[in-house]
């Protein structure tokens, strides 16, 4: 994917069930407002816990709760802690990532909006975004046809495209989410590895964008 992107752009490696990515969501929106089409954001699904089969253990739940509390304190993003009343939840991040990959076929903006809605559904509304019908409903609210989404989310092409996203993240050495890169002509610079507020990251991003304009 990164090999075919033209002009200055950002590549955003994320996962819809990554709490720090949910915390970073307003920052992504702020970047979009500031730079707009001048610096498009292309989301790539990194694969936080794909293909998980076993229910989350008590230790897993304690770790998740700790992450959520840290993200809420740092970012003020909302969380519905009713999630922790679930029993036997299988924390498989692949279905949500696959839904974003399919929505990306309609463009990066559609994928970013789909990602944001899946994040909000999971973290702020305690909806099960590992469930196909929940993902279809979220896609419908984003403007996609439910019947087409249901078929595409379950299709072999979507499974393959999602694996390609995960492989791309591994190939370029992404080890955590959120990660954002700024690129032009196959040359990339790190914008952030992990959460950063606009005041921390925007000056460097503005400087990089200005340097590109002078080329």
Check residue 2 and give its pLDDT. Answer: 58
- Comparing C-alpha atoms, which of 90, 77, 102 is closest to residue 128? 90
pLDDT at residue 115, as a whole number = 98
First to last CA, the chain: 24
Exposed, middle or buried, 185 (CB in 10 Å: 0-12/13-18/19+)? exposed
pLDDT in tens, 62-100: 999 999 999 999 999 999 999 999 999 999 999 999 999
Token pair, residue 208, equals: 């990089």
Edge-to-edge order in the sheet of strand 179-184: 41-45, 9-14, 179-184, 187-193
Domain boundaries, the chain: 11-178
Question: What pLDDT does residue 5 have?
Answer: 77
Partners of 193 in beta bridges = 179
Question: pLDDT tens digits for 32-52?
Answer: 999 998 899 999 999 999 999
Token pair 């809420």 is found at 72
With a cut of 70, which residues of the chain have pLDDT below it? 1-4, 214-215
Burial of residue 153 (number of CB atoms within 10 Å: 0-12, 13-18, 19+): buried
At residue 42, φ and ψ (nearest 5 deg) are -110, 110
Whole-model pTM? 0.94
Task: Report whether 2 contacts 184 (CB < 8 A).
Answer: no
Residue owning tokens 């469930």: 131
Domain over 11-178 is classified CATH 3.40.830.10: no
pLDDT of residue 3: 57
**pLDDT of res. 202:** 84
State how far the Cα of 215 lies from the Cα of 205, in Å rounded to an integer: 16
Closest CA to 106 of 119, 115, 96: 115
CA distance 104 to 111: 4
Burial class of residue 140, CB neighbours in 10 A (0-12, 13-18, 19+): middle
């Amino acid at each position: 994917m990164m090999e075919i992107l033209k002009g200055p752009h950002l590549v955003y490696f994320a996962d819809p069930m990554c709490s720090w990515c949910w915390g970073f969501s307003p920052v992504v929106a702020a970047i979009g407002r500031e730079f707009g089409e001048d610096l498009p954001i292309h989301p790539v699904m990194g694969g936080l816990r794909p293909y998980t089969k076993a229910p989350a253990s008590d230790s897993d739940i304690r770790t998740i709760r700790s992450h959520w509390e840290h993200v809420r304190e740092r970012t003020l993003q909302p969380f519905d802690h009713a999630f922790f009343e679930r029993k036997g939840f299988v924390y498989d991040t692949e279905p949500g990532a696959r839904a974003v990959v399919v929505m990306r076929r309609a463009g990066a903006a559609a994928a970013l909006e789909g990602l944001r809605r899946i994040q909000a559904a999971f973290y702020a509304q305690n909806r099960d975004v590992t469930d196909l019908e929940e993902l279809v409903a979220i896609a419908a609210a984003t403007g996609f046809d439910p019947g087409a989404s249901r078929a595409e989310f379950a299709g072999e092409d979507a499974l393959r495209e999602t694996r390609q996203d995960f492989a791309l993240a591994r190939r370029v050495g992404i080890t955590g989410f959120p990660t954002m890169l700024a690129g032009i002509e196959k040359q990339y610079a790190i914008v952030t590895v992990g959460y950063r507020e606009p005041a921390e990251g925007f000056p460097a991003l503005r400087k990089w964008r200005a340097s590109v304009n002078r080329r």
